[in-house]
Structure 1
């Protein structure tokens, strides 16, 4: 990114000066000079276009891990007020609706794991369906799938995939209200028929990790974390159903924008007023997609527990937290001096409530919400905690991952999957993958430095680091 186009507010905050006669909301980019330089110029163009959309309130923002996306940049955040003609855009949610991370804590130490690591890797690879279009053993009728889309993780627990205690540690308690399965197309439901409880491909993964370093002892104790502990991170979303919802409604919202004569700065930002029929239908379908993802991660949690207990009997595997990073949610925030309900698009960005918020599980409420930043196979991931300053700075939002530095095509030109697997094995990281090409596309060096992203997230006042996690086993599609 060309930093000459930006104005520096502080070491971790940048803005885009208004041009004469330009009408838009303020644009703020969070991150260090190094991280911003590594971003494509398209990120700046996209977030500036977002700032021109109808009914935006506050500022259009990017997180320290931002990169080029469809419509919104990945790592893009913006709030819209329905009372001021605010819109909703499928490009501001993303195709993988409610893609997110479920973190599980265990009672195992690295020393406990090491004798079983290879066997556990094989069992997880066998138990967790992964890969492009891969289906699992769960086959749902249309009526059953509608119950999933209405019930989310609550449905999964009722069906025996997990325990009620899991729901306490999932956003929305595992079920997003306002889902309308009737607004989801037959094609979307057809794609999801056999994909419940599957990991998918691309940057999705299941990782067995070790807590290498604790930064905040008080928060770590609240989260049940300690150095040397084994945890598991499951990164996936709503699979084919979410992608099809995005595809279907891009067309619907584009027609609405044309009908209502909305002047789009970019056709990828196809949108409709939140209060319009098209906006109402997309929100109902999107919420169904969120429930699909929450149910999917709940089933994968159940399968993970089965694999652990088969190889290491008696292992305790508890849900630490589950948070999505591709959503649009109705939330109450103070913006421009007054409290209001707004719809916040978070695309490749994570909700990060500070201490005391009523939507945080009681166990964590005095500390703040767990924030999960996923890294790449060979680097690491972070658990952070929401802070009070994030509300004013970014509507309680933080980074979601390392963010790509190279495209998948560029990665394929530089690495082979076999080469990456061998390199990681030499470092004690076991990879089980269904696609060698997929491993090459997700090579560790194809991503930004996750340590710099987590550090910038903290110093920008978005969330504070609690623990660094290093991968030991990685299962990929």
Structure 2
């Protein structure tokens, strides 16, 4: 990205000036000069297009890990006011609805557990279905799928997958209200019947990590974190169901925009007013997709606990937090000094409520929401805490963010060589696809340390702990 196009407002905040005759809201970009300079110009084009959508409240924004996506840039945040003609956009949510990370803390130490990491990697690999189109042992009938879409992680817990105590530490307490299973097509439901409790492919993973560094002692204590501790991160979403919802509603919303005379600069931004029949129909389906993802991560949590118990009989894995980064949520936010109910699109961005927020578990209320920032399998990840005065509608970076496309990665790296190289570094990879490893090479991502620092310096969230990967299961 050519930084000469931008105006620097603060060390980690930039704006995109309007061109003569250009009618749109403000565009704000959070990040350091090196991070923004490494982004494709397509990010600017996409977020400027978002700023031209009806009913936008405040500015259209990008997080420090932003990169080109479908419709919205990944790392894009925009809030819309239904009372002001605000819209809902499938391209602002993403095809993998409610893709997110479930983070589990353990009572194990890396040093003591290290001799069995190889066996743990193999056990997890056989226990966790992963890969393109990979199905699990759980096969659901149509009535059960509808229950999942209504009840989310509560359904999974009621079926014996995990613990009721997990629900307190899941976004929306494990069940998104406003789900309408009838708004989800039979094809979408059919795709999901065998995919509950599966990771999928691409950048999804189950990773065993060690807490290497603590930045914020008070927040780490509240989160139950300590140096040397083993952490488990599960990154996945709503699988085939979410993708099918996104595919189908993109067409429906495009027709709605045309019917209502809404001009969108790119068909990928197909949208409809929040209060329109089409907008409400998509929201009901999207909320069903969120519940699907929450249930999926709950089942995977149970499978991970079962695998750990086979290798470490005294292992205890507690849910630290589960947060999505492909959603649109109705939330109260202050704009120009007045509280407003806004529909906040977060595409590759994580909700990051600050201290005192009533939706936080009591355990975390004094320090803020855990924000899980996934890195790559060869570098590391961060746990941060939300800030009270977050300037981006309580949003933060969701990960390192891609620096190279999957095609570019395949041309540069070979999966087998990467697996061997990472093994020499003490990082064990288990995968069904060496091509997938090459696509997800550590070098294909931005420097997660720079993203975490920029996220903190921009006031979005503050660093609590750095996690180093030890074992990674991928599709």
Answer whether TM exceeds 0.5 for this pair.
yes
1:374-422: CA deviation from partner (whole Å, max 9, x where unpaired): 00000000000001121xx101100000000000000000011001001
How far 1:24 moved relative to its partner? 1.1
- Determine the structure 2 residue equivalent to 1:342: 342
1:83-125: CA deviation from partner (whole Å, max 9, x where unpaired): 0000000000000000000000000001121111000000000
**Following the alignment from structure 1 to structure 2, what is the Cα–Cα distance between the partners of residues 237 and 315?**
26
**Following the alignment from structure 1 to structure 2, what is the Cα–Cα distance between the partners of residues 114 and 202?**
27
How far 1:11 moved relative to its partner? 1.3
Where in structure 2 are the equivalents of 1:246-395 lying within 5 Å? Answer: 246-390=246-390, 393-395=391-393
How far 1:337 moved relative to its partner? 2.2
How far 1:152 moved relative to its partner? 0.3
How far 1:174 moved relative to its partner? 0.1
- Determine the structure 2 residue equivalent to 1:469: 467
**Following the alignment from structure 2 to structure 1, what is the Cα–Cα distance between the partners of residues 301 and 33?**
38
**Following the alignment from structure 2 to structure 1, what is the Cα–Cα distance between the partners of residues 269 and 218?**
42
Unaligned residue ranges in structure 2 (runs of 5+): none
- Determine the structure 2 residue equivalent to 1:400: 398
- Determine the structure 2 residue equivalent to 1:189: 189
**Following the alignment from structure 2 to structure 1, what is the Cα–Cα distance between the partners of residues 57 and 25?**
7
**Following the alignment from structure 1 to structure 2, what is the Cα–Cα distance between the partners of residues 157 and 460?**
38
- Determine the structure 2 residue equivalent to 1:239: 239
How far 1:32 moved relative to its partner? 0.4
Instruction: Please point out which of 433, 444, 447 is paired with 2:445.
Output: 447
**Following the alignment from structure 1 to structure 2, what is the Cα–Cα distance between the partners of residues 112 and 188?**
44
**Following the alignment from structure 1 to structure 2, what is the Cα–Cα distance between the partners of residues 331 and 10?**
27
- Determine the structure 2 residue equivalent to 1:415: 413
**Following the alignment from structure 1 to structure 2, what is the Cα–Cα distance between the partners of residues 238 and 466?**
28
**Following the alignment from structure 1 to structure 2, what is the Cα–Cα distance between the partners of residues 203 and 129?**
15
**Following the alignment from structure 2 to structure 1, what is the Cα–Cα distance between the partners of residues 406 and 132?**
15
**Following the alignment from structure 1 to structure 2, what is the Cα–Cα distance between the partners of residues 384 and 162?**
25
TM-score under structure 1 length normalisation = 0.99
1:141-175: CA deviation from partner (whole Å, max 9, x where unpaired): 00000000000001100110001100000000000
- Determine the structure 2 residue equivalent to 1:432: 430
**Following the alignment from structure 1 to structure 2, what is the Cα–Cα distance between the partners of residues 380 and 258?**
45
1:177-214: CA deviation from partner (whole Å, max 9, x where unpaired): 00000000011001101000000000000000000000
- Determine the structure 2 residue equivalent to 1:24: 24
**Following the alignment from structure 1 to structure 2, what is the Cα–Cα distance between the partners of residues 402 and 409?**
18
How far 1:265 moved relative to its partner? 1.4
**Following the alignment from structure 1 to structure 2, what is the Cα–Cα distance between the partners of residues 417 and 342?**
44
**Following the alignment from structure 1 to structure 2, what is the Cα–Cα distance between the partners of residues 374 and 29?**
20
Aligned: 1:7 with 2:7: yes
**Following the alignment from structure 1 to structure 2, what is the Cα–Cα distance between the partners of residues 181 and 336?**
37
**Following the alignment from structure 2 to structure 1, what is the Cα–Cα distance between the partners of residues 226 and 304?**
21
How far 1:338 moved relative to its partner? 1.1
**Following the alignment from structure 2 to structure 1, what is the Cα–Cα distance between the partners of residues 182 and 431?**
36
How far 1:18 moved relative to its partner? 1.7
- Determine the structure 1 residue equivalent to 2:139: 139
**Following the alignment from structure 2 to structure 1, what is the Cα–Cα distance between the partners of residues 26 and 96?**
28
How far 1:354 moved relative to its partner? 0.5
Q: What is the RMSD computed on CA atoms of the aligned residues? A: 0.5
**Following the alignment from structure 2 to structure 1, what is the Cα–Cα distance between the partners of residues 198 and 471?**
18
Aligned partner of residue 24 in structure 1, secondary structure: coil
**Following the alignment from structure 2 to structure 1, what is the Cα–Cα distance between the partners of residues 450 and 113?**
29
**Following the alignment from structure 1 to structure 2, what is the Cα–Cα distance between the partners of residues 112 and 290?**
37
Aligned partner of residue 233 in structure 2, secondary structure: strand
Aligned length: 475
How far 1:19 moved relative to its partner? 1.9
Unaligned residue ranges in structure 1 (runs of 5+): none
Where in structure 2 are the equivalents of 1:39-188 lying within 5 Å? Answer: 39-188=39-188
How far 1:10 moved relative to its partner? 1.3
How far 1:336 moved relative to its partner? 2.2
**Following the alignment from structure 1 to structure 2, what is the Cα–Cα distance between the partners of residues 203 and 126?**
19
TM-score under structure 2 length normalisation = 1.00
How far 1:54 moved relative to its partner? 0.5
How far 1:266 moved relative to its partner? 1.2
**Following the alignment from structure 1 to structure 2, what is the Cα–Cα distance between the partners of residues 131 and 25?**
41
**Following the alignment from structure 1 to structure 2, what is the Cα–Cα distance between the partners of residues 7 and 157?**
50
